[in-house]
Amino acid sequence: MPESQSWVLESLWPDFMKGIAALLPEQSFRTWIQPIRPEKLDGNILILHVPTQFHLEWIESHYAEQIRQLLAKLTGRELTLSFIVEPKPGGCPEREPSTLPPRVRPRTIHAPVPDDSELNPRYVFDNFVEGDGNSFARAACLAIAEAPGKTPWNPLLIYGDTGLGKTHLLQAIGNFASAHKKVRRVRYVSSEKYTHEFIHSVKNNRSTDFSKLYRSAELLLVDDIQFFAAKERTQVEFFHTFNSLYQAGKQIVLSSDRPVHELDGIDSRLISRFQSGLITQISPLDFETRVAILERRGEEEGIPLPPEIAQFLATHITNNIRELEGALVTLLARATFFNTDATLELAQDVLREKTGRSVTKPPIERIQELVAQHFGLAVEALRGKSRKHEIALARMLAMALCTHLTNHSLKHIGHLFGGRDHSTVIHARNTILRLKEEDTFIKESYATLLRQLDQSTPSSTSR
Ligand code: ADP
Ligand code: MG
């Protein structure tokens, strides 16, 4: 492989993807940037493949500037971009201009713009929609952003399921506090990245620099602290950083995907530090707030969204704002592509594709509700982290029913059960299939629930 080519594929491209992922909303990144494939760097021409002409045009009209700046920053020189339009094998041919010959479109990259901030300017309080599930957390974050280290809430810990706005709020604090010059040094980091950086610094004998970097922060925002689990040395390092900042009256804000008492594998000294400030939860948002978020996103994209469509999506995607936004972005892209308005039919198509959910089949939420009712539990318990026998059993039963009655992927089902992965769903399904043969209670529960969900018993138990 020529030098420039291996450099593009192994170094520049991964760095570029990381950088651009931090700049764009996650869904936009996944929809538009991830499908781009680098081919090679030919002199100053970077050749990239995109799947469709539409894709190319969307990238050019929405992200060209950011791509241009980031590449210039990474390479320190002016690159020309050439796009080759090339449908993916197995793509959806009727929608893709596959008859178009590959096109090469040169674009000039201009001067580099330095920007080393860990904060994403997109996440601000102004575009964070308030609802019952998040209003207290939002108020606490705003109060802290206005007076970091000067409220009694140190540390502030926000917890809640994935996709409910924790990262958005942490970043909003950082953006607000820097914009209003409340502090000079803000550091935002996920505990995962913190762990990697720490390991790296130890390996390179630079752990003192690492400590200094974080101990010099005036506002430290640490996202997803559950990843600290079982990282013992990192926890010790973080413990000292925590104490040093805390004693100096610097503000610390943390987020977690579960309540503190469910943070397994984290030292009790750290746990008690986490508990010493204010702990606030973000819960799933109510219907009206979900609609408001969609309408706001539509406005941001410059495409007004008919109320019945916002309501349709908000009815069917209930637990995760990230998914809700994902459906909307796809819908708007589709409408632009076909040059039509966003219609309800289009929304139904998108929902079916995105979630595998046909609107008439029992959705996962309904299965979760019925199973929870059957066991006398709260629905949240099924999506939560508890490993209590009864809850775990109910959860497995609900997952098994979901694999049986819906067209959702295992991944998606796991996702709606508190972000579990597909192997957990397979395990649940297999366990229930086995228990159904051995245990009368499970057998009867399964049959009753199936009846309630108004479905016939499957002809084969091995599905
Ligand atoms: P988490 O960190 O809890 O998994 P994120 O903060 O990444 O969730 O939120 C997922 C997506 O949903 C982001 O694009 C975020 O901007 C959006 N989002 C979540 N809550 C709200 C809200 N209340 N108003 C506007 N956008 C929101
Ligand atoms: Mg997050």
Q: How far away, in angstroms, is 168 Cα from ligand 2 center?
A: 7
SS3 state at 175: helix
Instruction: Determine the residue of 31, 142, 168 to mutate for testing ligand 1's pocket, defined as the one with the most ligand atoms within 8 A of the Cβ atom.
Output: 168
Q: Is 400 in the pocket of ligand 1 (CB under 6 A)?
A: no
The residue behind tokens 């609107």 is: 359
pLDDT given for residue 292 in this prediction: 94
Q: Is 134 in the pocket of ligand 1 (CB under 6 A)?
A: yes
Q: Is 166 in the pocket of ligand 1 (CB under 6 A)?
A: yes
pLDDT given for residue 109 in this prediction: 31
The atom number, within ligand 1, closest to the CA of 127 reads: 25
Q: Is 418 in the pocket of ligand 1 (CB under 6 A)?
A: no
pTM for the model stands at 0.60
CA–CA distance, 75 with 118 (Å, rounded to integer): 20
b/e map 370-399, b = 16+ CB within 10 Å: bbbeebebebebbbbbbeeeebebbbbbbb
Q: How far away, in angstroms, is 176 Cα from ligand 2 center?
A: 18
Which residues lie below 8 Å from residue 436, measured CB to CB, with a gap of 6+? Answer: 442, 443, 446, 461
The atom number, within ligand 1, closest to the CA of 171 reads: 6
Instruction: Determine the residue of 322, 323, 415 to mutate for testing ligand 1's pocket, defined as the one with the most ligand atoms within 8 A of the Cβ atom.
Output: 322
Q: Whose alpha carbon is nearest atom 9 of ligand 1?
A: 165
Instruction: Determine the residue of 129, 162, 313, 321 to mutate for testing ligand 1's pocket, defined as the one with the most ligand atoms within 8 A of the Cβ atom.
Output: 321
Which residues lie below 8 Å from residue 292, measured CB to CB, with a gap of 6+? Answer: 129, 131
Q: Is 165 in the pocket of ligand 1 (CB under 6 A)?
A: yes
Q: Return the bridge partners of 251, or none.
A: 219
| Ligand nearest to the Cα of 326, by number | 1
pLDDT given for residue 189 in this prediction: 95
Closest among 188, 171, 117, 177 to 147, alpha carbons compared: 177
CA–CA distance, 198 with 193 (Å, rounded to integer): 8
Q: Is 323 in the pocket of ligand 1 (CB under 6 A)?
A: no
pLDDT tens digit at each of 463 positions of the chain? 455 567 776 778 888 999 999 888 777 788 788 888 888 777 777 888 887 766 777 787 778 888 888 888 888 787 777 778 765 443 333 333 323 233 333 333 332 333 344 899 989 999 999 999 999 999 999 999 999 999 989 999 999 999 999 999 999 999 999 999 999 999 999 999 999 999 999 999 999 999 999 999 999 999 999 999 999 999 999 999 999 999 999 999 999 999 999 999 999 999 999 999 999 999 999 888 999 999 998 888 787 888 888 988 988 888 899 999 989 988 988 887 777 788 888 888 888 887 766 554 457 888 898 899 899 999 899 999 999 999 999 999 999 998 888 767 788 889 889 989 999 999 999 999 999 999 999 999 998 898 877 643 333 333 2
Q: Is 415 in the pocket of ligand 1 (CB under 6 A)?
A: no
Residue 82 corresponds to which tokens in the numbers above?
């050439």
pLDDT given for residue 15 in this prediction: 87
Phi, psi of 175 (to 5 degrees): -65, -40
Instruction: Determine the residue of 134, 164, 294 to mutate for testing ligand 1's pocket, defined as the one with the most ligand atoms within 8 A of the Cβ atom.
Output: 164
Q: Is 162 in the pocket of ligand 1 (CB under 6 A)?
A: yes
Q: Whose alpha carbon is nearest atom 6 of ligand 1?
A: 165
The atom number, within ligand 1, closest to the CA of 25 reads: 14
Q: How far away, in angstroms, is 182 Cα from ligand 1 center?
A: 24
Q: How far away, in angstroms, is 283 Cα from ligand 1 center?
A: 12
Q: How far away, in angstroms, is 164 Cα from ligand 1 center?
A: 5
Cis peptide before 363 (omega within 30 of 0): no
Q: How far away, in angstroms, is 166 Cα from ligand 2 center?
A: 5
Closest among 463, 30, 426 to 417, alpha carbons compared: 426
Q: Whose alpha carbon is nearest atom 16 of ligand 1?
A: 168
Q: Is 322 in the pocket of ligand 1 (CB under 6 A)?
A: yes
**Could you tell me if 383 and 319 are in contact, meaning their C-beta atoms sit under 8 angstroms apart?**
yes
Q: Is 325 in the pocket of ligand 1 (CB under 6 A)?
A: yes
